[in-house]
Amino acid sequence: MRAISLHRDVIVITSQLLQVNCAIVRAGEEAFVIDSPVLPEELELLPSLLEQAAFPAPRGLLATHADWDHLLGPLAFPGATLGCAESSAARLRAEPGAAQRALRDFDEELYLSRRRPLSLGSVQPLAVPGHCAIGGAELELHPTDGHTADGMAVWIPWAHVLVAGDYLSPIELPALNAGERIDAYLATLERLRPLLALAEHVVPGHGPALDGARATAVLDEDAAYLQALRERRAAAELPAGRRSKAQRELHAENIRQLAA
């Protein structure tokens, strides 16, 4: 697990597996934990890491969307309320136990064990677009869909940090999950574009944090890939730096999703 400070009020934790990012934001005497690392020991260390950084215990947890690898905060902070977009809360209600089953499959494949099973506890739906109060300030919540049908990006205005969820990754292609389509993904990218012009840092769901200029370049690469995917399917060119075997397999899965 790697921890870096992007601002005096923002820490980013990057998991050793999947390079999943967890952002911790503070305002005054309140803090939120956005998304989560993956490994059991990383989650167990989160409370002490906040204490060492002189951050208050989190007022609550936020999830950018309802994929299982972004929902593990309750394992670190049992009893904390999990806030998410209304679309994510609806997805959790429609798919009861899906996150727990996906986590169990992941753990069994990698021989991981955890001290307790995942319980999401109290889930608070948040209006998106909208705002979330924190310590006298407000986080801005922006709708994201295309990767999944649900989700939100979190803009931290006083720190000029965007937590983008599973968008704008420099190490991973845009992924189209079942039922989602290219137009929705492209629309999300364009909604995020104005924020990138203001951002000092962008935290993708997977991979290193970016400055605004690099994130804009990734956005343009992603848009070009999605346009080519729509027009040329298998012949679409993958962005430079994202042509590994794993990314070619993801590209093949995108083609299957479009055919579904």
Residue 106, domain CATH: 3.60.15.10
Query: Which helix (H) or strand (E) covers residue 21, if one does?
Result: strand 21-27
Cα separation, 41 vs 146, in Å, equals 32
Specify the pLDDT at position 177: 80
Could you tell me the residue range of the domain that residue 248 belongs to? 2-259
Query: Residue 246: how many CA atoms within 13 Å on its side-chain side?
Result: 8
118-160, pLDDT tens digit by residue? Answer: 999 999 999 999 999 999 999 999 999 999 999 999 999 999 9
Q: Is the pTM of this model over 0.95?
A: yes
| pLDDT (mean) for 57-76 | 97
pLDDT at 204 over 80: yes
Total domain count, the chain: 1
pLDDT of residue 178: 65
CA 118 vs CA 26, 69, 104, 114, 168: distances in Å: 25, 11, 9, 9, 28
Is residue 190 scored above 70 in pLDDT? yes
- Between CA 229 and CA 254 the distance in angstroms is 8
pLDDT tens sequence across 88-128: 999 999 999 999 999 999 999 999 999 999 999 999 999 99
Residue 180 pLDDT? 67
**pLDDT(20) > 70:** yes
Q: Please tell me the predicted confidence (pLDDT) of residue 232.
A: 93
Per-residue pLDDT at 258: 87
Q: What is the pLDDT of residue 115?
A: 94
